[in-house]
């Protein structure tokens, strides 16, 4: 394959990936609502978005869930990875299997399992069901990332600590955890992304009092052209680029030994 062909091909793929979003972003500045013609630069839709309380609330809710579930998943997932790495216990294979099933299942199947569970238990759909569901589907990714790093550990460090009389908890807290920071951070970020991007599971387990962004956007876009969604797309793209820059800076730091 020649160099030009390669560049052209990659360029085309990126064009395909970015063109639709670019159209949205450009139209967010378009004075006309329909975006078929350019009728002038304007911030109107940005103003409209910032005044759209329901949309802002939904966006805040989504962010809240994403932060909380990413954090919960990182904590629980790290402990799970630790358990699988370090301990022998009954049903260990089942646990690994369960995590694998969650990771490989299409969202719709997971969504159904959560819905059936919550209805069977009589739990009111809303904030907590959403949080539990999001945390759960992020878990496998955390476990895999953290486990991969654990496998590369120098076991001698841990042995040395134990020889010096450190308890399990101390070994984890003072030795293992500080070294795990890169993978925990990476899996937090991945969980955050997955939670923010989720549409299917949220559709099934959310309640009337806690609306998240995809649900609100779904109502808006089904009704037709929605310039506020264009603004949303532009803002989300901006936020993701900023976060990525932060993450890149973070990843440059080496783990302290």
Residue 95 Cβ, how far from other proteins at the closest point, in Å? 5
28 binds other proteins (CB under 8 A): no
Reference 207, options 128, 146, 89, 90; nearest CA is 128
Cβ neighbours, 10 Å, residue 108: 12
Phi, psi of 212 (to 5 degrees): -105, 165
Please tell me the distance from the alpha carbon of residue 119 to that of residue 127, in angstroms, as a whole number. 15
Residue 29 Cβ, how far from other proteins at the closest point, in Å? 15
Spell out a b/e string for 198-215, using b for 16 or more CB atoms within 10 Å of the CB, else e.
Answer: beebbbbbbeeebbbbbb
Cα distance between the two ends of the chain: 45
Site residues for other proteins, 82-111, by CB under 8 A, read 82-84, 87, 89, 91, 94-95, 98-99, 101-102, 104-109
Contact 21, 233 (CB under 8 A): yes
Binding mask 110-139 for other proteins (x = CB under 8 A): --xxxxxx-xx---xxxxx--xx---x--x
Determine if 19 is a binding residue for other proteins (CB under 8 A).
yes
Does residue 83 contact residue 143 with C-beta atoms inside 8 Å?
no
Site string for other proteins, 34-73 (x = CB under 8 A): xxx-----------------x------x--x--xx--x--
Q: How far is the CB of 229 from other proteins (least distance, A)?
A: 6
Nearest approach in angstroms of CB 50 to other proteins is 14
Q: Which of residues 143-172 bind other proteins (CB under 8 A)?
A: 167-169, 172
Q: Tokens in use for 196?
A: 């923010």
Q: Among residues 33 and 157, whose Cβ is nearest to other proteins?
A: 33
CA-closest candidate to residue 138, choices 90, 91, 191, 98: 191
At its nearest, how many Å lie between other proteins and the CB of residue 247?
A: 9
* Least distance between other proteins and beta carbon 54 (Å): 6
**Cβ closest to other proteins, residue 157 vs residue 215:** 215
Residue 124 CB-half CA count within 13 A? 5
> Site mask, other proteins, residues 169-208, x = CB under 8 A?
x--x--------------------x--xx-xx--xx--xx
Count of residues of this chain found to bind other proteins when the rule CB under 8 A is applied = 102
| Selection from 33, 67, 28, 85 nearest residue 223 by Cα | 33
Supply φ then ψ for residue 30, to 5 degrees.
-80, 130
CB of residue 199 vs other proteins: minimum separation in angstroms?
5
């Amino acid at each position: 394959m020649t160099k030009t062909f390669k560049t052209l091909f990659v360029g085309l793929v990126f064009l395909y990936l970015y063109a639709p979003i670019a159209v949205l972003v450009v139209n967010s500045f378009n004075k006309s609502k329909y975006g078929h013609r350019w009728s002038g630069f304007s911030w109107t839709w940005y103003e409209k978005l910032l005044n759209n309380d329901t949309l802002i609330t939904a966006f805040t809710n989504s962010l809240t869930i994403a932060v909380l579930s990413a954090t919960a998943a990182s904590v629980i997932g790290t402990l799970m990875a630790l358990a699988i790495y370090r301990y022998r216990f009954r049903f260990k294979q089942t646990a690994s299997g369960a995590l694998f099933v969650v990771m490989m299942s299409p969202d719709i199947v997971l969504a159904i399992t959560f819905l059936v569970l919550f209805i069977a238990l009589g739990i009111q759909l809303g904030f907590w069901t959403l949080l539990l569901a999001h945390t759960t589907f992020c878990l496998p990714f955390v476990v895999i990332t953290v486990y991969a790093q654990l496998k590369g550990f120098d076991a001698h460090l841990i042995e040395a600590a134990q020889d010096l009389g450190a308890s399990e908890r101390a070994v984890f807290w003072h030795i293992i955890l500080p070294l795990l920071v890169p993978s925990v951070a990476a899996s937090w970020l991945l969980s955050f992304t997955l939670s923010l991007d989720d549409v299917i599971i949220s559709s099934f387990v959310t309640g009337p009092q806690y609306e998240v962004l995809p649900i609100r956007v779904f109502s808006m876009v089904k009704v037709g052209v929605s310039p506020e969604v264009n603004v949303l797309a532009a803002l989300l793209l901006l936020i993701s680029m900023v976060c990525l820059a932060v993450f890149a800076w973070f990843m440059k730091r080496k783990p302290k030994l």
